Amino acid sequence: MKKFILTFSLAAFATLNSLCQDLKEVALTEEWLQKIEKLAPSKTNFPFSEKKKILVFSLYTGFQHWVIPHTTEMIKIISKKSGAFEVVESIDINQFEKENLAQYDAVVMNNTCSKPEHRNLFWDQLNIEQDKDSVSLMSKAMELEQNLIDYVKNGGGLFLLHGAVTTQNNSMDFSKLVGASFDYHPPQQTIHIQLEDAEHPLVKHFPPNGFVHVDEPYFYKNAYSELAFEPLLFFNNSEIKDQRKNQELTAGKTYVAWIKSEGKGRVMYSAASHNAQSFENQDLLEFFLNGLQYVVGDTPD
């Protein structure tokens, strides 16, 4: 066992050298799209009876992740190639009106980062679009948030990627829906991502010893302390560099991805990935496809 771990460690850090040299923004070119198309799974791992309709929502008011358009295209590619999903793209918050949400089997929140001042994406955008007093705007923002919560409880799916955890970051109701709120992240670095249960159907295609990934290691707060979800991926806290001095964790682990049920619906969160280069990992593409199937109810409970 010791020899196996050492071999993996040396291979991981050799991989890191090439990964860290390639963290610059990647242009969304036809060549890149063709590369992802070639790597994407050709079929789903779980049977489905009919194509599901999903909303990929990519509005941001806070930090702009350069990977947003790449993520949308990646989801469109794995959806089309597998034949499992019809994708609708939007940045219009009117999609969160009850009658609009009702047309979708799932909503994918693609790095929907809110501004630090309020950490409320809906309020941020309403404040841009409407000339109303702050009380009215906040009331409407809370209504849209509740619409999303009710949508999931009534059987809708919700898949949140990376910065989407900050969408309504100060709302405990949203934190409980998602499973966490964002606290902070150290700088990007190599992360040895490991599997909580190597036999879990959503992750069993990964190497059993995990994989090396370059990303921002996210730490969480609020509902995260309850761990009211089923963990899928994690990193060891002791391996993360440049943590906050007054919050440094030298033991235990932090989860990178998880799933949870909420009423009749399902939720999945994945912190990977901040970089489009990660989509060149076939295992991650398969993981995202599995995740989409999970939130629409195609996978076993």
Residue 161 has pLDDT above 80, yes or no: yes
User: Residue 107 pLDDT > 90, yes or no?
Assistant: yes
Quote the pLDDT of residue 12: 44
Q: How confident is the model at residue 273 (pLDDT cuts 50, 70, 90)?
A: confident
* Backbone phi and psi for residue 282, each to the nearest 5 degrees, phi listed first: -55, -35
Q: Is residue 209 classed as helix, strand or coil in its secondary structure?
A: coil
Over residues 53-66, the pLDDT tens digits come to 999 999 999 999 99
How far apart (Å, rounded) are the C-alpha atoms in residues 149 and 18? 41
Query: Within 10 A of 130 (CB to CB), how many other CB atoms are there?
Result: 11
Three-state DSSP state, 79: helix
pLDDT at residue number 174: 98
List pLDDT tens digits, range 12-39. Answer: 444 444 444 447 899 999 999 999 999 9
pTM of the prediction?
0.93
210 pLDDT exceeds 60? yes
pLDDT at 24: 85
* pLDDT for the residue 6: 36
Give the pLDDT score at 215.
96
Domains of the chain: 2-23+47-296 (3.40.50.880)
Which pLDDT score is estimated for 28? 95
Q: Which helix (H) or strand (E) holds 285?
A: helix 282-296
Residue 163 predicted with pLDDT over 90: yes
Using CA atoms, how far apart are residues 99 and 146, in angstroms rounded to an integer?
13
What is the structure's pLDDT at 1?
39
pLDDT band at 227 (very low <50, low <70, confident <90, very high): very high
Residue 150's pLDDT is what?
98
Sign of CA dihedral 169, 196, 243, 218: negative
What's the rounded Cα separation, in Å, for the pair 180 and 165?
7
Q: What is the CA radius of gyration of the chain?
A: 19
